Structure formats: structure tokens, C-alpha cells
């Protein structure tokens, strides 16, 4: 059986995306994403644990991230884990990133407020949903939406 490398995250951006435009015309965006798990400990006290993930988006997804995402934005990300190494002060260090293949913005704009959001044009739409070409689906509603009804309130220690 072949291996599987798939990650699905729903969380909030910890900082604005940092976008670089490469010589060949490609763009790459990187940012941190916080996911929080709420649970009840043995004593019945509600607890929460926040994990921070490094997320990298390429090409069309990077363009969408640059244009629409900001610190605190809530998103759904699907991708794969990628580990790389680098040297700092003569010591080899390793870092693991989530390389996004798909992204969906989950923020709801309050009624009567104009957040500056402009829906992507038809040309932008495929990049907003999937960074790699795939077979057309029967309907746009076929993209799964995670069930967030079981999550509890936020964490006051988070910057958003």
C-alpha cells in the first residue's frame, strides 16, 4: 500500500501572510496557523491546547492569501507535511511545514460592514479552491465543509 501524507486544519492566522515573488513569476506565501482543541480534564475543568503550524502556499493560493488573508482570518487548509533542514550557527535544524493544496476562507463578514473583500473572479476561483488541476466535480457544493459545531469558545491568550 502506498503511503499517505495528508493534513487538514481549521484555524486562525497568527500573523499576516508573508508573500515573496520569485524570479520565475511564482509567488509563495507563508504564515502561522493556530488550531485549538478544547477538552475537559479529569477534575471537570475546561482546558484548551493551542498548536501552531507553519503553512506555505504557492502560486495561485499565495496570490489569494496575499489579497484576502490577514492576522486572525479563519481558514480551512488541506495539504501535505514537508520537512526541510537548514544550518544556523553551525547546527543543522529541521522545520516542518504544511504545504497547502486547497484553502477555503471561513470568516463571515458581519452584515452592513464592508471588509474590502471582493469575491474572486471566475479566473481566480480555481486557485482559491485547489492549487492543482483536478477533474471537474458535479457541483461546486461537492467540496466538504468541516463540521465546526462541536468546537467550544475561543482562547483569550490568542492574538485574535
Query: Tens of pLDDT along 85-100?
Result: 999 999 999 999 999 9
Digit-coded pLDDT (tens) for 44-99: 999 999 999 999 999 999 999 999 999 999 999 999 999 999 999 999 999 999 99
Cα gap 44→28, rounded to integer Å: 44
Going from N- to C-terminal start, the domains of the chain cover 7-37+47-105
| Residue 21, CA distances (Å) to 39, 47, 67, 128 in order | 41, 41, 14, 18
From the candidate CATH numbers 3.10.450.50, 2.80.10.50, 3.30.1540.20, 2.40.50.140, the one assigned to the domain spanning 7-37+47-105: 2.40.50.140
Whether pLDDT at 109 is above 70:
no
Cα gap 127→51, rounded to integer Å: 27
Output the pLDDT for position 1.
81
Output the pLDDT for position 111.
54
Output the pLDDT for position 76.
98
Stated pTM of the model:
0.65
**Spacing of C-alpha 37 from chain mean position:** 16
**Spacing of C-alpha 23 from chain mean position:** 25
Answer for the pair 50, 159: CB distance below 8 angstroms, yes or no.
no
Whether pLDDT at 131 is above 60:
no
In this structure, what C-alpha cell is assigned to residue 106? Answer: 471561513
Contacts 24+ apart (CB under 8 A), 134-139: none
Nearest by Cα to 125 from 108, 106, 103, 98 = 103
Amino acid at each position: 500500500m502506498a503511503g499517505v501524507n495528508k493534513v487538514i486544519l481549521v484555524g486562525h492566522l497568527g500573523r499576516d501572510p508573508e508573500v515573496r515573488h520569485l524570479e520565475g513569476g511564482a509567488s509563495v506565501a507563508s504564515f502561522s496557523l493556530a488550531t485549538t482543541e478544547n477538552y475537559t480534564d479529569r477534575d471537570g475543568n475546561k482546558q484548551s491546547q493551542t498548536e501552531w503550524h507553519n503553512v506555505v502556499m504557492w502560486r495561485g493560493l499565495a496570490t489569494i492569501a496575499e489579497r484576502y488573508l490577514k492576522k486572525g482570518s479563519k481558514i480551512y487548509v488541506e495539504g501535505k507535511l514537508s520537512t526541510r533542514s537548514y544550518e544556523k550557527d553551525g547546527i543543522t535544524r529541521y522545520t516542518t511545514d504544511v504545504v497547502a493544496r486547497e484553502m477555503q476562507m471561513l470568516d463571515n463578514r458581519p452584515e452592513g460592514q464592508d471588509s474590502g473583500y471582493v469575491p474572486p473572479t471566475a479566473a481566480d476561483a480555481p486557485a482559491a479552491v485547489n492549487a492543482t488541476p483536478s477533474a471537474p466535480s458535479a457541483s461546486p457544493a461537492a467540496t466538504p465543509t468541516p463540521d465546526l459545531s462541536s468546537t467550544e469558545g475561543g482562547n483569550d491568550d490568542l492574538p485574535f
